[in-house]
Chain A
Amino acid sequence: MAFNILRTGHRIGKILNVKSAIHSTQRVLTVGQPVLNKKEVEVTFVKANGDRLKAKGKVGDSLLDVVINSNLDLDGFGACEGTLTCSTCHLICSQETYDSLPNKPSEEELDMLDLAYELTDTSRLGCQIILTEDMDGLTVKVPATINDARS
């Protein structure tokens, strides 16, 4: 539990940072200066209907941050705002990608994943994947149940 609380505090702090980052980016852009020195990496989210959404994120951002900062059209994604209590940020990786991710899922992440629809052995929660420089070009699948209503 202590772990969870710590984590929560961390995530909330993170989301606030993200907001200020948006502001500073805007400001920087108007002055025409190079954006922050943190390296950017590109991530592709593949929706169940085949749409490919490309977005840029900074090293240290989570994939949830990327979805939010780029305003990606993924309904319901990140309902608990990265506090590991919802599993709406469920993403599916290829085996290769899954193996290459630097952090393995924690017990708490696996607990939440166990409630996700279409769980696979290479599933992860987007709010728990933190971008590193090596992840440029990362591609992940967004399961259908979240952004395309089942009928």
Chain B
Amino acid sequence: MYNLWFNRVHIKGAIKPKICIVGAGPAGFYAAQHLSKKLEKSEIDILEKLPVPFGLVRFGVAPDHPEVKNVINTFTKTAQHPNVKYYGNISFGKDVFLQDLQRFYHVVLLTYGAEEYRKLNIPGEEFHNVIPARKIVGWYNGVPTDKDLNLNLDGERMIIFGQGNVAIDVARILLSPIDQLKKTDITEYALEKISQSKVKKIYLVGRRGPLQAAYTIKELREMLKLKGCQTIWRNEDFSALTSEILGTLARPKKRITELMISSLQQETKLQPELNFFSPIFFRSPLEILGEQKAEKVILGVNRLVGNDILTQKAQLTDKTEDLECDSIVTSIGYKGVQVDPSVPFDNQQGIVKNTDGKISTGLYTTGWLGTGPVGVILTTMSNAFSVAERIVKDINVDNLLESNKKGYGGVQEIVNKNNIPVVNWQDWEKIDKHEVDKGKIIGKPREKLVTIKDMLEVANS
């Protein structure tokens, strides 16, 4: 009797948890790291839409910030863990669907990020010289679908709407001395075009005030120290910031606000030979005007309402102001995409509906898809670890290992039937080596392949 019972438990315990992670960005890799560490026996498969891994670490993080990309070393170790497998060039919602994955795996974890950008939704946004920051980032970083972006850098004045780190990244890349970019892994075509760029003045326009600006202090300091570039603030934007208010701020907010104020106070006079970077606060774009292209923006003047000074909201007054420009970049945030209609989705927020990472039994999300596009890699890491920990606990609590499952075998049947060439980790290593070798010839850490076709060719070589 005892033996029989023991055996049953034993058999049940012998079922290996099979976990599918969808999306090979930081969220996917950090979750895989934690799961492979906590579950002694497991099969953890990471499916990725593109042939190449690392998500925004490869395609978002600015080329002149190579240190940030050191996380790739840890991701690589995770990918080489015996229980972790990488399968690139499989698109969720197109090649495989949620139903399939739930049939093949005990746990499905969606980490496919937030790829859509938010629009201003104002008249004139359709002009060809109004471009989402996300596409510019994709263009200089070699995203296959952005490589042909028709970016016109022939005019001097650019307005960027949005005051986050992505907005600053774009401004910095466009205003940096070209010699500083040459040694990075920026795509060669972007380098070429930026070296001919006439962009000299960039306005960084935000709806709210200095206290609500989303950029972080490191990125701001970098801008203030940028060679050949002057940062110009508008005095009146800081008039409400009394030393009394400063005294109430927590250290991080206080330090960044003090940095802005000290830069404002240091300001010398305009030097026309220098590039010019100018944050403008309390303005909302109302309409973009021009003949064939955007030439001018009507900005509504905002005031802030609400009791808590850090979370005050912008409210339009009836005053407006014109700002002339040669091009416009929008950088007001991202949102996730549903991709597969059976994924419970909050279209308003652009995230998968979830409670602390759990969508439903055996189905989870983490990273920007679950939290929204906020924070840095540290934020994503911390969230991924906590959702992974929850999965480990739920495997027992929710009885997720009732029956054996096919795992990747099931996915393989589908991709084989549809002749989808899958890129595994060894294939990626070939692509990686190819890119690094190509970069060496021209003195760069890497020259990226920018078409899926080229990536697959090298993978198959």
Interface residue ranges, A against B (CB under 8 Å): 1, 8, 75-76, 79-81, 83-88, 107-108, 110-112, 114-117, 119, 121, 145-146, 149-151
Question: Is there an interface contact between B252 and A1, defined as CB atoms closer than 8 Å?
Answer: no
Interchain CA distance A41-B388 in the complex, whole Å: 35
**Sample (6) of A-B pairs whose CB atoms are under 8 Å apart:** A75-B34, A79-B70, A81-B67, A86-B71, A108-B221, A149-B388
Residue of B33, B382, B390 with highest tally of chain A CB at under 10 A: B382
Known interface pairs A119-B252, A151-B389; 13 further A-B residue pairs with C-beta atoms within 8 A, sorted by A's residue number:
A8-B67, A75-B37, A76-B30, A76-B382, A79-B74, A79-B377, A81-B73, A85-B70, A86-B376, A114-B256, A149-B387, A150-B382, A151-B386
Say whether A80 contacts B217, CB under 8 Å: no
Given that A79-B74, A111-B218 are contacting pairs, would A150 and B67 also be in contact in the complex, using a CB cutoff of 8 Å?
no
Q: How far is the CA of A81 from the CA of B240 in the complex (A)?
A: 41
Q: Given B67, B70, B222, B376, which contacts A115 in the complex, CB threshold below 8 Å?
A: B376
* Chain A minimum-CB-distance residue to B68: A85
| A150 vs B221: C-alpha distance when bound (angstroms) | 31
Q: 8 Å CB contacts to A: which residues of B211-253?
A: 216-218, 221-222, 225-226, 251-252
- Separation in Å of the B58 CB from the closest CB of chain A? 16
- Distance between Cα atoms of A8 and B70 in the complex (Å): 11
Q: Which chain B residues lie closer than 8 Å to A121 at the CB level?
A: 251
Partner of B68, one of A75, A80, A116, A119: A80
B382 touches A145 (CB 8 A): yes
A1: which B residues are within 8 A, CB to CB? 222, 225-226
| Chain B contacts for A108, CB-based, 8 A | 218, 221
Provide the bound-state CA to CA distance between A130 and B376, in Å: 26
Q: How many residues of B contact A (CB 8 A)?
A: 34
A149 contacts B68, C-beta separation under 8 Å: no
| 8 Å CB interface, B39-93 against A | 65, 67-68, 70-71, 73-74
- Is B356 interfacial (CB-CB < 8 Å)? yes
**C-alpha gap A111/B377 in the complex (Å):** 16
Chain B residues with CB under 8 A of A151: 356, 386, 389-390
**A86 and B390 in contact, given A80-B68, A111-B221, A146-B382 (Cβ under 8 angstroms):** no
Bound-state CA distance A111–B376 (Å) is 14
> A83 — nearest CB in chain B belongs to which residue?
B67
The reply to whether A149 and B386 form a contact with Cβ atoms under 8 Å apart is yes
Contacts A75-B33, A76-B30, A76-B385 given: A86-B378 contact, CB under 8 Å? Answer: yes
